[in-house]
Every structure is written in C-alpha cells, then in structure tokens.
Amino acid sequence: MNKLNIGLIGNGSISESHLQAYQADPRVELTAVCDLNKERAEETARKYNIPHVYTDYRDLLALPEIDAVSICTWNDSHAEISVAALEAGKHVLCEKPLCKTVDEALRVEDAVRRSGKLLQVGYVRRHASNIAVLKKFIDAGDLGEIYFAKASLIRRLGNPGGWFADRERSGGGPLIDIGVHVIDLCWYLMGKPKVKSVSGNTYNKLGNRSNIENYDFYKAADYDASLNTVEDMANAMIRFENGASLLVDVSFSLHARDNSAQVNIYGERGGAEIEPVLSIVTERHNTIINIDPQISTPGFDFQGSFNNEIAHFIDSCLGNITTNSPVEDGVEMIKILNAVYQSAAEGREIHF
C-alpha cells in the first residue's frame, strides 16, 4: 500500500499531538513541516525524521508528493491556509475553530466544493473513546430525543497568553478556544439540530491575572503578561428549531474554587454525564438506574482522542469512511460562536 504523505503547517504546542498520532500510524509518512520559527521546525524534523522543512506554507503546498496536511496555526490563518491547501489538491485537517468569521468559513466551504477534496475540522472530543461508547447508546435510541444539554469548562486561572490572548489572531478567548469543544460536542450528540437563536454574555473583568504567584498554569510559547484583549469568561443559551436547548459557560479566569468540567445531555428516555467521566442514567421497571460503563478511559483521553481523530482523518482520505467532522459542521459552529459574541456586544438575542 502506498503511504499518505503528510505535511504539518504550524508547529506550536498542539502540533505535537498530531505528530505523535501520525508517527504511530503505519499508513502515513511525515514528509514536511512548516513553521514561522525555523529553528523549532528543524528540531521537530530531527525528532520525527521529517525530510522537508519550510517557513512558508506555500512552499510546503508546492510539494507534489504531499497528499494531506494538518493545519495547526493561529486561528486567523486557518481559512487562508485551508483554501490554499484545497486549491493545491491536498486533503485538510484543520484545527478548531475552522476560522474566525462566517465569511471566512463560507470561503473555505466553497473551496472544498470546488476542489473535491476533504476538509475535516479538528473537533477532537468527537473522537474520544467514551463518546464512541455513548454514541452507540444514543444511536440505538436508549436516550430518546435529546432536548437539553449543559456544558461548563471553568479555568480559575488559565489564560495561556500569547496569541490566545490576542483577539486579532485568536478571534476571541475561552469561548472560541475551549468553548467550541463542548458546544460542538453537545450539538453533535443532540443530532446537529438547526439553530434558532443565541443569547450570550462575555465578561472582561479580571484580565490575565499575571500578578498571581505560587500557582502554575499553561503559558503559550509567546506569552506576554502585558497583552490581553480577549474575554475572561462567556456564557450562552442556544435554542434550536426542534425545541431543544443548550446552556454553556466557559472561562479562562474566574474566582472559582477550582477548575471544573461538566458536560451533560438529557433525553426523553435517559441522560448522560460526559465530563468528568461517562455515566448514563435511565429507568428500568419504574426504578432510576445509573449505568457506569466499564471502559478503560471513562473521561476525555487527550492523546488517545488525537490518535483516534488522526486515524479517522486518514481513513477518510483513503475513502474508507466519510468524515464525521465535515466543513459544513465547521461553518455552523462559527455561526454559533460569532452569534454569541454579537449577542454579548449588542445586548440582545440573535435570531438565525
């Protein structure tokens, strides 16, 4: 079997999860890496035995042997690079979010249709092993129609700074960075219903709290304590045309006692707690039953989920399956995220 030749564009922290997953899959060959920081790209090339190193993504896309690329750059370049890659005849795995604006998202969607190539959006939580288990219960009708979901990802102190804190590059703060994961996951499990309206709030009260001592948190490679133009936290109510609804709240910084993750879905016949660990609730013989699936990773397994996501992308590139995270889903999620920001800015509900 001929191996798929993979190019990596953007060699920041998240790219390591892509690289590890590709390296573990015998169906691919890591062929090229591109990053604005040449030294970093060269170090990665040595570590993973990658023959080609570039600082301009256009040079990587010009390589005829490249079949597919992972795009792990700043959010503000996702659309530009995705369109260029598709037009160059490459399949694309684009890290979430698909881009910053709805106009950009529509341009990417158009490029997918014109090129006939695959674009998979990097919604890695769809690929977690506990979600694969839960999806079987949902698809079998065990939960019935899912009409309500709640998602909360709270960091008490977790603004990574750098490009994450720069709205021009990121498009926003915790909502577009981590909120997109849980909003998308709930929407996906609810059957991807059409959005009716969005009402949201954002708060810029605490800043990056770089004054805090004696407490470690993740910092971006380009961390700058003086830079922060994104929200501390956001919350939203999303209503769907079928009557279902989704409540979400996320934060980079909040006077909370601890970090927390809670994701729950509720249906007519049962419900499920997804974070912190998978548990399913239903009724049998007029008795409430809590079901704790006996699986190796009942919670979100970070690298394992990336391994699954990359394997899914490779299978999709090879034509074995159809991706479960197509460009259309990326477009819909950008519409939702932008509507939350618009609602917060204008102080009104946004109708679709």
Last-in-domain residue among 123, 143, 158: 123
Query: Going by C-beta distance under 8 Å and a sequence separation of 6 or more, which residues neighbour residue 86?
Result: 92, 108, 111, 112, 114, 115, 117, 119
The range of the structural domain enclosing residue 193 comes to 126-351
Judge whether residue 280 has pLDDT over 80: yes
pLDDT for position 132: 97
Q: Which of the 8 DSSP states describes residue 337?
A: H
Q: What element of type H or E holds 22?
A: helix 15-23
Model confidence pLDDT, tens digit, residues 16-31: 999 999 999 999 999 9
pLDDT for position 219: 86
Give CA–CA dist 187/305, Å, rounded.
18
pLDDT for position 220: 85
Mean pLDDT in the chain?
Answer: 97
To the nearest 10°, the Cα dihedral for 300, 44, 100, 328? Answer: -60
Judge whether residue 168 has pLDDT over 70: yes
Residues 114 and 131 in one domain: no
Model confidence pLDDT, tens digit, residues 76-114: 999 999 999 999 999 999 999 999 999 999 999 999 999
Among 266, 276, 295, smallest CA distance to 143 is for 266
State how many domains the chain has. Answer: 2
Judge whether residue 45 has pLDDT over 90: yes
Q: What element of type H or E holds 106?
A: helix 102-115
Residues 139 and 71 in one domain: no
Give CA–CA dist 263/274, Å, rounded.
5
The CATH number of residue 320's host domain is 3.30.360.10
Mean pLDDT of 214-239: 92
Residues 186 and 310 in one domain: yes
Give CA–CA dist 337/14, Å, rounded.
21
Sheet holding 28-34, edge to edge: 52-54, 28-34, 4-9, 68-71, 91-95, 119-122
Strand 260-267 relative to strand 270-275, pairing: antiparallel
Query: Going by C-beta distance under 8 Å and a sequence separation of 6 or more, which residues neighbour residue 92?
Result: 68, 69, 71, 82, 85, 86, 117, 118, 119, 120
The answer to whether 97 and 176 are in contact (CB under 8 A) is yes
Residues 267 and 334 in one domain: yes
Residues 9 and 118 in one domain: yes
Give CA–CA dist 68/285, Å, rounded.
52
The CATH number of residue 43's host domain is 3.40.50.720
> CA 57 → CA 35, 42, 77, 234, 317, distances in Å?
8, 15, 11, 34, 21
pLDDT for position 218: 85
Residues 160 and 131 in one domain: yes
pLDDT for position 221: 81
Mean pLDDT of 298-316: 97
Residues 133 and 256 in one domain: yes
pLDDT for position 77: 98
For the chain, the C-alpha Rg in angstroms (whole number) is 20
pLDDT for position 307: 98
Residues 328 and 206 in one domain: yes
Residues 67 and 172 in one domain: no
Last-in-domain residue among 70, 90, 123: 123
pLDDT band at 317 (very low <50, low <70, confident <90, very high): very high
Judge whether residue 1 has pLDDT over 60: no
Dihedral sign, Cα of residue 255, residue 256, residue 257, residue 258: negative
Residues 228 and 98 in one domain: no
The percent of residues above 70 in pLDDT, for the chain, comes to 100
